[in-house]
Amino acid sequence: RQPKWFQREIKVSCGGRRSCYLATQDIISKLQSEIRRVKSGVLCLFLLDSNASLTVNENADPTVRTDMDGAMKRMAEKGAKSWSKGEGDPLAFRSALFGRSLTLPINNGYPSFGTWQGIYLCSWDPSSTNRTLIATCVELSSRVQNITISPAKRGVHPITADVTKAFLSEKKNKKRKTEKEGGGIPAMLYVMIQHTSASMGLSGVYHSSLDKALDLVVPETWNNEFFVHTYEGPDDMPGHV
């Protein structure tokens, strides 16, 4: 069957100040009449403004958002100075680091956030008070599977095998069906990490050098210099960033 979908343009106010604004309710409430009917699907949010970003992070302690803004300020200024002989735009660097789009899994009419997760609308230009987003939601016939991965230590860990194992039985069933029908079934595997001080990406190399590189980008010395959210340990707030 053809998937059901909708697309809407919405506006979100960020108060006219530079900040990481917790925008979960503002965004979802404007889309609730549509997504509440979606049993399983994906919601894509695309930000039309070039001097703002979208990301998912902690929704509980507000100091995470102020620390995030401080971290972005330092990273962007350093990047701008090293680009085009100091002629770079710090606002452009901030937007590029976080990105302007976000994809969320929808389960039973609501995004499948982790316990402490929410949507950050990061407004890097205080002169802009309203942000425009294009929201596209596609309802899919899908299987939702939760898996738990427990790394023995901090660092970079391959999880391909864990994800594949979770869907192995589904994959075998699909294979039998396609062999019987004589064709392939296009599909998408979407994976979201429900933890705020960890991240996920695609890479061909799993090596300790990547963890060391991230330590240079977001050093733990920032805990002593300006981070406020430090009570969960020295690696927690750098992990959020």
Is-contact 105 111, C-beta < 8 A?
A: yes
Helix ranges (H only) for the chain are 24-35, 63-82, 90-98, 160-166, 168-181, 208-217, 222-225, 236-240
pLDDT of residue 47: 94
Does 2.60.120.460 match the CATH number of domain 4-240? yes
CB 121 within 8 A of CB 131: yes
Amino acid 178: pLDDT: 47
The predicted structure's pLDDT at residue 177:
53
Tokens for 181?
Answer: 């029908």
Kindly list the domain boundaries of the chain, sorted by start residue.
4-240
pLDDT tens, position by position, for the chain (241 residues)?
566 889 999 999 887 677 899 999 999 999 999 999 999 899 999 999 888 999 999 999 999 999 999 998 888 877 666 655 555 566 777 887 888 999 999 999 999 999 899 999 998 887 788 899 999 999 887 777 888 988 878 788 888 888 888 877 665 555 555 445 545 666 778 888 999 888 888 877 666 778 888 888 899 999 999 999 999 999 899 999 9
> What's the count of helices (H) and strands (E) in the chain, helices before strands?
8, 8
